[in-house]
Structure 1
Amino acid sequence: MNKFKMLLKTGIEEATRFVSNSWRFIIAALLLYIVCFLLFMGFFFYTGAGKWADVLIIVGSGAFVFITIWILTFLLVNFIKRMPIFFLACIIGAVYAVYSVGTYLGPFFRLMGYFVLVLGAFSGLTLYLYKKQKKSFFFLSFISTVVLHGIFIYFTATDGKEGDWSLQLNSSSSQIVNPATEKNYDITYFTYGSGSDKRDDYKDVLYQTNPVNISSFIVQPKGWNKWYREWFWGFNLQNAPLNGRVWMPISNDNETFPLVLIVHGNHNMADFSDGGYAYLGEMLAKKGYIAVSVDQNFINSGKSGHIGWDNAGRAWLLLKHLEQWQTWNKTKEHDLFNKIDMDNIALIGHSRGGEAISIAKQFNELERFPNNAKVRLNFDFSIKALIGLSPGDGRFTPGDQPVKLEDVNYLTLQGGNDTDHTNYLGMRQFERVHFNEDFDGFKSSIYIYGGNHGQFNSDWEMDQPAPYWWFMNRKELMTPDTQRDITKIYIASFLDATLKGKKELKKIFEDKNLVSSWVPADPLRVRYENSSFTPLATFEEDVDVTTSTIGGEMQGHNLQVWKEINLLQRNKEPQYNQVVKLGWSSRNSRYTLIVPNTVSDDFHADTVLRFDAVQAHPERYEFYHIPVPEGYQHKPIPITVSLKPKGVSKFDSRLRTTVYIDPTYSTKLYRFNWWNKRFGNEYEHMLHTYEVPIDYWKDSFPTIDFSNIEEISFEFNQTNSGLIFLDNIGFY
């Protein structure tokens, strides 16, 4: 021990002697170089005041900062010299300990850790003052310590602030039966898989499956990441298992059931995710679906690292599961022979799984893997419906192209208080779903204020682990049960409408008030578009604000704001959807679309006018110096929709109806505004679909010829001001 102390002392003395002898040379050269550098760079700085002024600004700024920091450092070092070395070493050690552990637990841990260090220091100081009986200083220190502890407890133990939306239910009964509560079958539950898995759920399986080689569809982990994964799972990705949890109807008849695969997203691989969709599996099985929660935990991230191209691997694995189900369905000796309706398949994906289902649909239609054409695909299953729960987008791009889908029913749901996917990425995929004329289907988007990412999975519930969860604005969140009830209603309706032909359930997507007696409707913004929709104005075609998509004319009257823009996500990146923004500060304002004869000739009593709209956020009202209408703060505002038939010259003789345009609410993800600003805005403008059946004309004109309609006007005559977005004006 003494020898070690001697070596340490000798080393410090030698280093000190070396620095003491050389520092003047080092500083002289350093200052010479930096002065020359500043003089040289000053010639590249331009203010217009003259070159010497430019150089003096640069050199003067550098000199001011140098002198200021020199003085502060001189004072600080002289202060530190007088501190006990053990004290300084402990402080520095504690700071770096918090910083290093924060590498795993994140910046919020560091923030808390440093605050805890301050609490500890104040507590120790208070104890010292008490011991020394310095009453006045002790009282001040004691109060400060109590206040700091109170602040810490407040921010970790309280929930935050409620949202501006209402969670009230409608007291009147709905016109239709809640499709999520139907119980037509008793059900059974079982698992299938390799049978050699370490996990009990996939060790004792009802049906055994062969492993598959996923290595062509992912970037293989290396080094520590590879070793740890293989040690943890007991297999490598050349032998990935096909594991699944199954909820299945019990039927004695020769009945087949549509197949629905559900796949989780990314999560800590050691905290298994596939059990969190039992609430969906049980509901669907009782309704007459075979529901499977697919295990892909072995692709998820872990403390050892990630897997590249993981969403391509997730997509391919889904298709291999379908291949396995098809084999069972065709094998006469198997219990599942002729039990599966392979003509009606749906895929549900959460988070990265929500992106994977879209990739799987595209892979399903390709012969070869776009990113490595040496790999064959050749699946061709009858996938008729896709459902993305807070899906990702663009993490993997087949052939470096965004995934475009045709002629498939698509539904996506997103929580407005999602702190994982803070932007509604599913809206991008929604915009890239297109229908051909001969396709009979639809797409819909459900945006849920107060919903979050984790509550779609009953095993997750929290978007982020502690300490992030402690600082999230939890009071804005609806309960997990409410969010999952909303999810069940729309998934049940969507699958019944698309796989079982219950077209009447499309009404639930056309009018959100139909669900208002089961779940709160105010937090919902629902987009809906069917394949029979004929758009008149989508605002995507050009930059001319006076022309519509089909060549008609657009007119604005007395508008304070009239411009076509791309809607933004929370982080201010584009949604890739052009809309028109309309603002007014007078009751004598309107926006008119001239309908070409080629379109109106097809109008009849069952024709419905449809458009997407939403109010701008109050922050945008303020930006344009337009007041929020009095009495309509955080409330829908009324606008008038009017139709003008040929031969009507006076504006007042038009036929009108009132539509209420929903507001855009703020969603505070965390309780600190400075932290929320990292994500961009405190809102996303999410459009809502409105429908106006044109047969309301019949009340005034029983013999009306609907093909005579030549103008659609949006009149802003019911409020003194307003600011809205309008999109996808058309008929079906």
Structure 2
Amino acid sequence: MNALKRALSIFEKTVVGFFENNWRASVIGSFAYILALVLTMGFFFYTGAGKWFDYSFTLITAVLGILLGFIISLFVFKILFLLPKYFVACIVGAVVGIYALGTYLGPFFTMLGIGTMILGAWTGLSIKLVKNERKRRGLLIAALGMITIITHGLFLFPIFSEGDQGAWSLELTEESINSPLVNPASDGGNAIQNFTYGSGEDLRREEYRDVAYKTNAVNMSSFVVHPKGFNKWYRDWFWGFDLNRAPLNGRVWMPEESSEGPFPLILMVHGNHNMADFSDGGYEYLGELLASKGYIAVSIDQNFLNSGKSGHIGWDNAGRAWMFLKHLDQWGKWNNDKQHPLYGKVDMENIGLIGHSRGGEAVSLAALMNELDRLPNNAKVTLNFDFSIKALIGLSPGDGRFKLGDQPVELKDINYLTIQGANDTDHTNNYGVRQYERVSFSDDFDGFKSSIYLYGANHGQFNSDWEVDQPSPYWWFMNQKEIMEPELQRDMTKLYVAAFLDATLKDKEEYRQIFSKKETASSWIPTDPVRLKYEASTFTPLATYEEDVDVTTMTLDEGELHGYNLQVWKEVNLTLRNNEPQGNEAVKLGWRGSSGRYTVKIPDKVAQSLSPDSVLSFDAVQLHQSLYDFYGIRVPKGYEEKAIPITVMLKPKGTIKLDGRNGTSVEIEPTYSSKLYKFGWWNERFGNDYEHMLQTYEVPLAFLQDNNPNINYQDIEEIIFEFNQTGSGLIFLDNVGFQK
């Protein structure tokens, strides 16, 4: 110990002596260089007041800044030198330790650490003061105790409070519509079996050592950027393999062997998470349901592609997508092998992919890779896949993390569903709606796409092993009161996933109405938190607002758009929470009074195809209430955070424009706030506390016959959105057209 003290003393004297003898030279050199820089910048600085002013301004600013810093430093150092050196050293040591841990545990830990340090210092000081005071100890204890309790309460309240309640209702609708449909999330009645397949050599998990069927490793070299240095060493040690020989591991739920097949195949994959906290078991709730309904459901293990404390893997989403296809390849081999127990069990013509988070982006990448001969990002790599993938589901998917050929993923003639939670603190923006907009259909394709936005749903509860979006201490500061119960979120997910797969892989078209009319599910799940977009391949668009900047032209030629007595009428690009574009244009309509209306003139070629079976379809939603004041429009009295009614009319030729017999009322849903964290200042990091997510509305034209039995549907020439039921309002309108 004495030797160490002597060494430190010698080091201290050497360093101090060096600077005592040389500090003037370094200061003169520094100031000379700073002066040269300031004069140079003054030459390029231009105000228009003259070059003399430009030079003077930059020079005076620099001198004042240096003097201010000099004075503050002298004052701080004077105080520090007067303080006990061990006190200063302990405080600095504590702060450095807190920030060091904060690099791993995040900024919330840093804030908590600093706050805890201050509270501890105050508590310790209070105890010391009370201990030393003898004359007025009782009064001092009362005062310091009260202050201590208050400060601890203020510190702990944000942690233990649940936050704010959302404006939406989680109650079932009492007057649900009559529907002959069976809840698609009910058990299908098939007895199920559960097993795993994989390498049989997994170091960390017994379920992938004791497997029903062994698989060969695959080389991912062309589809990922291999980790290097410590990241590679740690991963290789932890997993026992590198990505040149990645395993094909999967958990399977399927009908028992006695059940008749073949069965549609559903592959599911998790997203990014701590690789040591395994994620693939978290979709058991979906696997068991789908197996009972006659599907083979597989949860793929891709934990080795996830991030860890040692670092990340580049191009990981390309790897996730390719692994989807390699698992399909494996299932195809088993299905065709007459000697294998799974021979003939798989309906390889009906395949669906489900992905969560980064896995949700991977399903779209996999579907596109499936159609390509070569990898666009490295054309030396062949793909050679051609599976019959008919359905894609993205649960809170990412978008654009990896781009094939540096282009956004454009999908054609495939059924697509995305589900996003409004209280997602991981993917805070609804990126799935952007992929939804990039799915298109050919005239001869029979399918649909849907985007579902769930107020109160978060990111982690789609996976029962995750549940929370971020670990503590982040979780302590999230607005937990808005988040729905985990089981409810998974029940809603089961309903939409099962209905989508039944409709697209088992031709149960009756389940499409769950996506076109959200009220269809109102007796099974709460639908007030749901914003649901739907578009079928048979949709004929009149106005999508994507074609040009002329607000009077439509997507189809010969049609016209007109507004009357409107306070607001403009076409805009819808945005996400962080103000990034959704990739979708809509028209913004606002009114004051009860005489505003917006008309869509129907081209004759479209009118000739109309019949009682036709359905008028459009997407709409109210703007967030915070935007009403911006446009000088009041929120209609009694409709705060509620749907507002508008009248939708279809005018035949030769009739009065606003003949009430040709109209029906439609309730336009509000845009709710969803506060991710308890603190407004922290929420501002993510942008707005809302996203404008459109809702699809359908108006069957058969209603016209109630008051006009002899109506000729081919004579309908205008769609009129009449804003006559409230004294004011502000909505988005999009995708006006007819659905067969």
The two structures have a TM-score, normalised by structure 1, of: 0.97
Cross-structure match for 2:99: 99
- Map 1:343-382 to 2 at 5 A: 343-382=349-388
Cross-structure match for 1:192: 197
Taking structure 1 as reference, are residues 652 and 58 closer, same or farther at Cα in structure 2, changes over 3 Å only? Answer: farther
Deviation for aligned residue 1:449: 0.3
CA distance in 2, matches of 1:650, 1:350: 49
CA distance in 1, matches of 2:281, 2:3: 60
Cross-structure match for 1:221: 227
Counterpart of 1:354 in structure 2: which amino acid? Answer: G
Say yes or no: does 1:168 pair with 2:171.
yes
Taking structure 1 as reference, are residues 331 and 618 closer, same or farther at Cα in structure 2, changes over 3 Å only? Answer: same
Cross-structure match for 1:496: 502
Counterpart of 1:108 in structure 2: which amino acid? Answer: F
Answer with 35-44 or 163-172: which moved more.
35-44
Say yes or no: does 1:634 pair with 2:641.
yes
Deviation for aligned residue 1:232: 0.8
Counterpart of 1:73 in structure 2: which amino acid? Answer: S
Cross-structure match for 1:521: 527
Counterpart of 1:243 in structure 2: which amino acid? Answer: N
Counterpart of 1:30 in structure 2: which amino acid? Answer: S
Say yes or no: does 1:181 pair with 2:186.
yes
Counterpart of 1:285 in structure 2: which amino acid? Answer: A
* 8 A contact 1:187–1:247 mirrored in 2: yes
Deviation for aligned residue 1:712: 0.8
Deviation for aligned residue 1:373: 1.5
Counterpart of 2:168 in structure 1: which amino acid? Answer: W
- Map 1:146-545 to 2 at 5 A: 146-172=149-175, 175=179, 176-198=181-203, 199-250=205-256, 252=258, 254-545=260-551
Deviation for aligned residue 1:716: 1.0
Counterpart of 2:103 in structure 1: which amino acid? Answer: T
Gaps of 5+ in 2: none
Deviation for aligned residue 1:583: 1.0
Counterpart of 1:154 in structure 2: which amino acid? Answer: F
**Partner deviation per Cα, 1:92-112 (whole Å, 9 max, x = no partner):** 010000001111111111111
Deviation for aligned residue 1:554: 0.8
Cross-structure match for 1:707: 714
CA distance in 2, matches of 1:631, 1:59: 61
Counterpart of 2:45 in structure 1: which amino acid? Answer: F
* 8 A contact 2:620–2:696 mirrored in 1: yes
* 8 A contact 2:646–2:723 mirrored in 1: yes
CA distance in 2, matches of 1:327, 1:482: 38
* 8 A contact 2:611–2:714 mirrored in 1: yes
CA distance in 2, matches of 1:13, 1:598: 94
**Partner deviation per Cα, 1:222-268 (whole Å, 9 max, x = no partner):** 11111111111111211111111111112535421111011111111
Answer with 135-144 or 671-680: which moved more.
135-144
* 8 A contact 2:661–2:708 mirrored in 1: no
**Partner deviation per Cα, 1:639-676 (whole Å, 9 max, x = no partner):** 11111111124434661111111011111101111111
User: Secondary structure at 1:359's aligned position in 2?
Assistant: helix
User: Secondary structure at 2:495's aligned position in 1?
Assistant: helix
Say yes or no: does 1:687 pair with 2:694.
yes
CA distance in 1, matches of 2:9, 2:345: 82
Deviation for aligned residue 1:61: 3.3
CA distance in 2, matches of 1:60, 1:560: 52
**Partner deviation per Cα, 1:590-639 (whole Å, 9 max, x = no partner):** 11111110111111110100000110011211222211111111000111
Answer with 25-34 or 419-428: which moved more.
25-34
| Aligned residue pairs, count | 732
* 8 A contact 1:643–1:654 mirrored in 2: no
Deviation for aligned residue 1:10: 3.1
Deviation for aligned residue 1:444: 0.3
Answer with 608-617 or 621-630: which moved more.
621-630
Taking structure 1 as reference, are residues 3 and 192 closer, same or farther at Cα in structure 2, changes over 3 Å only? Answer: closer
* 8 A contact 1:644–1:654 mirrored in 2: no
User: Secondary structure at 1:177's aligned position in 2?
Assistant: coil
Instruction: State, as a whole percentage, how many aligned pairs show the same letter.
Output: 60
Taking structure 1 as reference, are residues 140 and 77 closer, same or farther at Cα in structure 2, changes over 3 Å only? Answer: farther
Counterpart of 2:149 in structure 1: which amino acid? Answer: V
Cross-structure match for 1:113: 113
- Map 1:116-127 to 2 at 5 A: 116-127=116-127
Deviation for aligned residue 1:220: 0.9
User: Secondary structure at 1:292's aligned position in 2?
Assistant: strand
Answer with 452-461 or 49-58: which moved more.
49-58
Answer with 502-511 or 370-379: which moved more.
370-379
* 8 A contact 1:167–1:520 mirrored in 2: yes
**Partner deviation per Cα, 1:690-727 (whole Å, 9 max, x = no partner):** 00111111011111110111111111111111111111
Answer with 645-654 or 414-423: which moved more.
645-654
Deviation for aligned residue 1:420: 0.4
CA distance in 1, matches of 2:722, 2:50: 57
Deviation for aligned residue 1:46: 3.6
Deviation for aligned residue 1:36: 4.3
CA distance in 2, matches of 1:279, 1:497: 20
Deviation for aligned residue 1:52: 3.7
Deviation for aligned residue 1:50: 4.1
* 8 A contact 2:390–2:415 mirrored in 1: yes
Cross-structure match for 2:571: 564
Answer with 431-440 or 35-44: which moved more.
35-44
Deviation for aligned residue 1:22: 2.9
CA distance in 2, matches of 1:17, 1:209: 69
CA distance in 1, matches of 2:206, 2:468: 25
User: Secondary structure at 2:730's aligned position in 1?
Assistant: strand
Counterpart of 2:354 in structure 1: which amino acid? Answer: I
Deviation for aligned residue 1:319: 0.8
Cross-structure match for 1:16: 16
CA distance in 2, matches of 1:595, 1:522: 32
CA distance in 1, matches of 2:339, 2:534: 44
* 8 A contact 2:661–2:707 mirrored in 1: no
User: Secondary structure at 1:122's aligned position in 2?
Assistant: helix
* 8 A contact 1:125–1:141 mirrored in 2: no
Deviation for aligned residue 1:69: 2.9
RMSD: 1.6
* 8 A contact 2:266–2:351 mirrored in 1: yes
CA distance in 1, matches of 2:60, 2:158: 44
CA distance in 1, matches of 2:261, 2:93: 69
* 8 A contact 1:648–1:654 mirrored in 2: no
Counterpart of 1:151 in structure 2: which amino acid? Answer: L
Taking structure 1 as reference, are residues 129 and 438 closer, same or farther at Cα in structure 2, changes over 3 Å only? Answer: same
Deviation for aligned residue 1:328: 1.0
Say yes or no: does 1:145 pair with 2:152.
no
CA distance in 2, matches of 1:295, 1:342: 21
Answer with 152-161 or 337-346: which moved more.
152-161
CA distance in 1, matches of 2:111, 2:526: 37
* 8 A contact 2:166–2:482 mirrored in 1: yes
Deviation for aligned residue 1:63: 3.4
- Among 560, 564, 567, the residue aligned to 1:553: 560
Deviation for aligned residue 1:679: 0.6
